[in-house]
Amino acid sequence: MDRKETTINARLSDLFFTFLKLGAFTIGGGYAMIPLIEKELIDKRAWFDREEFLELLALAQSAPGIIAMNIAVSVGYRAKGKAGMLMASLGAVLPSFLIILLIAAVFTSFRDNPVVERIFKGIRPAVVALIAAPLFRLAKSAHITLKTMFIPIGTAILVGFLGVSPIWIILSGGLGGILWFLIAKRKQS
Amino acid sequence: MVFDRKKKAVMIYLQLFITYLKIGFFNFGGGYAMLSLIEHEMVLKQQWISHAEFTDMVAISQVTPGPIGINMATYVGYTVTGNVWGSLLATLAVSLPSLVVMYSIVRFIQAFRQNKWISAAFEGIKPVTVGLIGSAAILLMNAENFSDYISLIIFGFSFMLSWVFKVHPILLIVLAGLTGLLVY
């Protein structure tokens, strides 16, 4: 490896509690975690320089898996090897696991309560709106143009209306990317 | 008969594990992008939870801390098996791909970063994830979530508040819940 290795002065318990804190106080998952991680790991503890963190972040976002977990795994491994990776991911998962377990145990018996039912009847359409609203902004940041617009629209139709499994579309997306790369390469030479 | 019941119970745990392993592995683009996959597997294919229950879980995930994928796995694991072990198994299964894949990436970071084939595949997946979020919205536009014209009004208002005025999701869910309490 020719990359410069920053020596990180972290203890396993530091990793665990840092990610426990991130898991307990970030609502909305991976992306919501990013500013807090920056503050905690770079500004406060100086475990990474910003450039290295951004690189890990880019990989965590493009790789498969839950983004918050991917961040915990990569940061934990860089800081303290396999043990660090396990402690950081355990810390990241534990708060939501415990909270949702409690909700699952209680909510199943509360769901038929008329007051709860009225509240959730109001919430359900808002949730759908919440998912649909950021679509245009996301399309822009994924650099979707008029030429490539057929990909997200086709995906939405196939999965949303025709019931095709997202797995097939993801696999075709990956294959399509490789094919596109091959065609571009042939055009160049 | 007892044997049959035991066999059935083991099958449920096995199915839960395999399904969440799949969800973890094919989860690209995070959060909302994985919703259509979870819904396809949990609601349409296995029929472990209903559309309404799924939507309620998205709402609960939005107002509680932690990644939505973990929240969903913990919740569905519990409701399907009725105990903590189901939660634990599903959460482990959905986390496992992150552990294995990210570990390999960080270990072989140099080789990974320079691999043109892998980055070409990721470039192709990126526009797909946008479409997957769209399909999650389409899948949720059903009679269970939109029972009357009031739900359409709530949808319209929420969409505008979120898109134009960028109201925080937690505030939006609280407002919608209060509206439901008042009008129904």
My answer on whether A91 and A164 are in the same domain is no
* One domain, residues A106 and A139: no
Number of folded domains that form chain A: 2
Of B127, B137, B184, the CB nearest to A144: B127
Residues A155 and A88 both lie in one domain: no
- A104 and A66, same domain (yes or no): yes
CA distance B91 to B87: 6
A77 and A164: one domain? no
Q: Is the pLDDT of residue A108 over 60?
A: yes
Q: Are residues A54 and A94 in the same domain?
A: yes
pLDDT tens-digit profile, chain B (184 residues): 556 777 777 889 999 999 999 999 998 877 788 888 988 998 988 888 899 989 998 888 888 888 888 998 999 999 889 899 999 999 999 999 989 999 988 888 777 777 888 888 888 888 888 898 898 889 889 888 898 999 999 999 999 998 888 888 888 889 999 999 999 8
Give the residue numbers spanning the domain of A75.
Answer: 12-110
Q: Which residue of B has its CA nearest to A147?
A: B127
Domain-wise residue ranges, chain B: 2-145
Task: Report the C-alpha gap between B57 and A106 in whole angstroms.
Answer: 13
Distance from CA of B2 to the nearest CA of A (A): 27
| Chain A residue nearest residue B164, CA to CA | A133
Query: Per-residue pLDDT for A4 more than 70?
Result: no
- Torsion, CA B76, CA B82, CA B83, CA B89, rounded to 10: -40
Q: Is residue A171 part of a domain?
A: yes
Lowest mean pLDDT among A6-10, A124-128, B81-85: A6-10
Q: B170 to chain A: which residues are within 8 Å by CB?
A: 27
Model pLDDT for residues A34-76, shown as the tens digit of each residue? 777 778 888 888 777 877 787 787 788 788 888 888 989 988 9
The predicted structure's pLDDT at residue A152: 92
Prediction ipTM score? 0.82
| Integer Cα distance of B14 and B129 in angstroms | 28
Q: Which of residues 82-141 of B touch A (CB under 8 A)?
A: 84, 87, 91, 94-95, 97-99, 101-103, 105-107, 109-110, 112-113, 116-117, 120-141
- Yes or no: say if B40 and B109 are a contact pair by the CB < 8 Å rule: no
Instruction: Looking at the structure, tell me whether residues A18 and A103 fall in a common domain.
Output: yes
B167 vs A: CB within 8 A? no
With vertex at residue A86, the alpha carbon angle to CA A10 and CA A171, rounded to the nearest 5 degrees, is 125
Tell me, yes or no, whether A47 and A101 share the same domain. yes
Look at residue A45 and tell me if it is in a domain.
yes
Q: Name the more confident of A84 and A136.
A: A84
Q: How far is B29 from chain A (nearest CA, A)?
A: 7
Nearest-CB residue to B169 (from A56, A100, A130): A130
pLDDT of residue A1: 40
